[in-house]
Amino acid sequence: MKLYFSTAACSLSPRIVLMEAGLPFTAEKVDLKSKKTTSGADYLSVNSKGAVPALELDDGQVLTEGPAIVQYLADLEPDSGLAPRAGSFERYRLMEILNFISSEVHKGFSPLFKRDAPADARQIAMDNLAKKLDWLSMQLAGKKFLMGDTFTVADAYLFTVLRWSGLVQVDLAKWPVLTAYVARVGERPKVKEALHAEGLK
């Protein structure tokens, strides 16, 4: 399998999952501006949406959309505990939180990356994101991970997007539960390896 990624982007989430699951893979970096990969290939011919992550399977099929990719990977190693069994009610709980991370938190951060956004637009985006972080903080209070004591693909994704707070001047210290959660996930050996692979800490 090959993971198409961009440093510190949401593609870090499937990289963490690949490593936690112990699955063999290669990785190819994408320049999101030029849509070229490091080998010079046209990334739009891999993923016509132009976004990372994309996962190229050994049979040539390409799977896109982070939440679908991480569930696919977890299902390759069902005993890893990275996702509840497909068909179980708990699996729908996982999808529920993955969808929230994707549509509300990930895309809540996105406007904050726009350096030329007017200050009032940035404030609106920040206020919106703060509400989502308040909710997550309540969900995680007294819990190790999103689904309880077991680390799942949802944690790989949430960790990845919460890390962006440092890049866009969101003061995560306002949410001590989330700060502690990021530190806890960041201590996992495979998460450290994934960060290291992208030259991150």
Ligand X SMILES: N[C@@H](CCC(=O)N[C@@H](CS)C(=O)NCC(=O)O)C(=O)O
**CB burial class (10 A; 0-12, 13-18, 19+) of residue 18?**
buried
Give the nearer residue to ligand X in terms of CB position, either 102 or 179: 102
Question: 53, 19, 66: which is closest to 191 by C-alpha?
Answer: 19
Residues in contact with 44: Cβ distance below 8 Å, sequence separation at least 6, in sequence order? 35, 50
Q: Which of 21, 66, 97, 98 binds ligand X (CB under 6 A)?
A: 66
73 lies in the binding site for ligand X (CB under 6 A): no
Of 108, 35, 133, 21, the residue nearest 69 (C-alpha):
21
Residues near ligand X (CB under 6 A), total: 10
Using rule CB under 6 A, residue 50 touches ligand X: yes
Q: Which of 52, 97, 147, 154 binds ligand X (CB under 6 A)?
A: 52
* Among 65, 75, 77, 104, interactor with ligand X by CB under 6 A: 65
Stretch that binds ligand X, among 50-58, 86-94, 131-139, 171-179 (CB under 6 A): 50-58
Asked if 29 and 11 touch (Cβ cutoff 8 Å), the reply is: no
Q: By C-beta, is 88 or 103 nearer to ligand X?
A: 103
In the bound state with ligand X, the residue whose beta carbon lies nearer, of 34 and 79, is 34
Q: Which of residues 85-114 bind ligand X (CB under 6 A)?
A: 102
CB of 132 to ligand X, least distance (A): 16
What tokens appear for 88 in the block? 């179980």
* Burial readout 124-148 (b: 16 or more C-beta within 10 A, e: otherwise): ebbeebeebbeebbeebeeeebbbe
Which residues contribute to the site for ligand X (CB under 6 A)?
A: 9-10, 32, 50-53, 65-66, 102
